[in-house]
Amino acid sequence: MSASLEKGINALKEQVDSSVASFFSSCVHCGMCADACLFYTETGDPERTPINKTEPLRRIWKSEYTLFGRVGKMLGLTKKVDDKLLADWETLVYDSCTLCGRCSMVCPVGNDIALMIRKTREGMAAAGHAPEGLIGATTRAVTIGSPMGVKWPALEAQIGHVEKDTGMKVPVDVVGAEYMLLLSSMEIMNFPEFIDAVTRIFKHAGISWTISSEAFEATNSGIQIGVSDIAAELVQRIVDAAEKLKVKTVISPECGHAYMAIRWEGPNLVGKPFSFKVRHILEVLDELRKDGRLKTTGMESQKLTYHDPCQISRRGGVIDEPRHLIDMIAGNFVEMPDHGKMNWCCGAGGGVSSNERADEIRLKVFQRKKDQLDAIKPDAIISACSNCRIHLEDGLEEYGMDIPLLSLTEMLAEHLAED
C-alpha cells in the first residue's frame, strides 16, 4: 500500500462514528436520493446517485467497524479501498456534488448523505485524489491567506474607495468593537459594494464594528477540499484575531460555505468552543430589524424572488431571517417552487466553482435552477452568497436569460431610511 493511500484510509477511518454507522446500516438502495440531486436529475447518469458517492467511506465502515465485515475481511470477501477506487470516485465526490444536502432532506431512512460525502472527501484529499483547482485554492489560502490570493493591501485599497464613496470611516483593528466582520475574497474583488452597504447600515444602526487586518478572509478551502487540519488552521486565524480584538460577535458575510466553516464546523475543527458568537450577516441584520435599529423606506415594485444558498439555509439554519428582511423592502415577492430548506443548489457550491474541470457540468445542471426560475419568471433574484451570485449570473448568461442578481445586504443599504 502506498503511503498516500494509507493516509487516505486512516483519514476515512477517523470519519466513522455512530451516525455514519447507523446511516450505512439503514440504506436500502431505494434510489430516492438520486431524484433529489441536480447532478442526477439533469444528467440522468445513475453513477451520480448521492449514496453511490460515499462508496469509499462505506467500504471502510463495513470492513473495519462491523463484526461481520471484519470476518469477511479476514476471509478476503470485503471490497477494498484502493487507489483505483479513489481515482474513479474523484469526479463523483468533487465535481458532481456541491454538498448542498438536498439528498439528506429526502432520504426516507434519514441519512445525512451530504455529511457522508463531506467525510468521504477527507479520505480522498489525504490520499491525493482532490481536484487541481481546489488544491491550488487551498494552498493559496494557507500561504497567502486567501483562496483567490487576495492580500491585505488589496482590501485596504477597497476600504479606501468605500470611505471615499460613503464619506464614512471603515473601522480597522478596533479593539473592543462589538462585531468583527469577515469578508470573502469574492466580495473584496468582485462585490466591494457589500463593504459599502455594511458600512452604511452599521453607521445607521449605530453599531460598533471592525475589520481585522490579520484575519479578514471568511472562506475556508479546507472544508471544501476536505482537509480538517488546514480547515482548522484557517479557523484558528479568525479565532486569534477575534480574541485579540476582544469582539463579542464575528460576522460571516454573504458566502455560503464560509458560514458553515466558521459557524458550524469551526469550534469542532479547533477543538474548543469559541469565546465569541458567530452570526451570519442576515442574522445580524434581522436582529437589528427586531430591535427597531434597522429602518428602511420605499418598496421595490419589481417581482423579486430569493435563492436560498444551501450552506446558509438548508445546512446553516438561516431561512426565516432573509424573508423577514425582504418583507421590509419588497412589494412583490414570490417564492420559487421548492424554496427554503428544499431549494435547489445553484450548482457551484462545495468547491465546484474552484474546480475548472467541473465547469461544463455545473452549467449543465443549472438547467434545474432555470426550470425553477421559469416557473415564476422573476424580474430579479436576491441572494446572500457571492459564490451563488457569480454562478447564477454565469448560468443565466449561458441559458440566455436576462435576470439581474441582487445582494440582500446591498438592497437594504439602498433602502435605508434617512436619519
| Interface positions with other proteins (CB under 8 A) | 16-23, 25-32, 34-36, 40-41, 44, 46-47, 49, 51-52, 65-68, 104-112, 115, 263-268, 271-274, 277-278, 313-319, 337-338, 341-342
Q: Least separation, in Å, of the C-beta of 314 and other proteins?
A: 6
Instruction: Residue 59: name the closest of 106, 2, 12, 97 by CA.
Output: 12
Of residues 104 and 353, the one with the C-beta less far from other proteins: 104
Beta bridge partners, 250, equal 180, 278
Nearer to other proteins by C-beta: 316 or 378? 316
Which one, 44 or 400, has the nearer CB to other proteins? 44
In the complex, minimum distance from the CB of residue 124 to other proteins, in angstroms, rounded to a whole number = 21
Nearer to other proteins, 20 or 294 (CB): 20
What whole-number distance in Å separates Cα of residue 68 and Cα of residue 70?
A: 5
Residue 105 CB, shortest distance to other proteins, in Å, is 6
Smallest distance from the beta carbon of 417 to other proteins, in angstroms? 30
Give the chain as a 3 state SS string: CCHHHHHHHHHHHHHCCHHHHHHHHHCCCCCHHHHHCHHHHCCCCHHHCHHHHHHHHHHHHHHHHCHHHHHHHHCCCCCCCCHHHHHHHHHHHHHCCCCCCHHHHHCCCCCCHHHHHHHHHHHHHHCCCCCHHHHHHHHHHHHCCCCCCCCHHHHHHHHHHHHHHHCCCCCECCCCCCEEECECHHHHHCCCHHHHHHHHHHHHHCCCEEECCCCCECCCHHHHHCCHHHHHHHHHHHHHHHHHCCCCEEEECCCHHHHHHHHHHHHHHHCCCCCCEEEEHHHHHHHHHHCCCCCECCCECCCEEECCCCCCCCCCCCCHHHHHHHHHHECCECCCCCCHHHCCCCCCCCCHHHCHHHHHHHHHCCHHHHHHHHCCCCCEEEECCHHHHHHHHHHHHHCCCCCCEEEHHHHHHHCECCC
Reference 239, options 280, 274, 277, 279; nearest CA is: 274
**CB nearer other proteins, residue 136 or residue 317:** 317
Pick 77 or 157: Cβ nearer other proteins: 77
Cell numbers for 186: 469574492
Closer residue to other proteins, CB minimum distance, 171 or 266: 266
Closest to other proteins by CB, 118 vs 200, is 118
The strand pairing partners of 382, in sequence order, are 306, 406
Instruction: Give min distance, CB of 327 to other proteins, in A.
Output: 19
CB of 342 to other proteins, least distance (A): 6
Nearest approach, Cβ of 166 to other proteins (angstroms)? 32
- Find cell 436560498 and name the residue: 308
Find the shortest distance in angstroms from Cβ 34 to other proteins. Answer: 4
Shortest distance in whole angstroms from residue 26 CB to other proteins: 4
Contact at 8 Å (CB) between 382 and 407? Answer: yes
Q: CB of residue 117 vs other proteins: minimum separation in angstroms? A: 14
Measured distance CA(206)–CA(197) in Å, rounded: 14
* Residue with the three cell numbers 451563488: 388
Nearest distance, CB of residue 364 and other proteins, angstroms:
18
Task: Identify which of residues 201 and 278 has a Cβ nearer to other proteins in the complex.
Answer: 278
Angle between helices 113-126 and 55-65 (to 10 degrees): 90
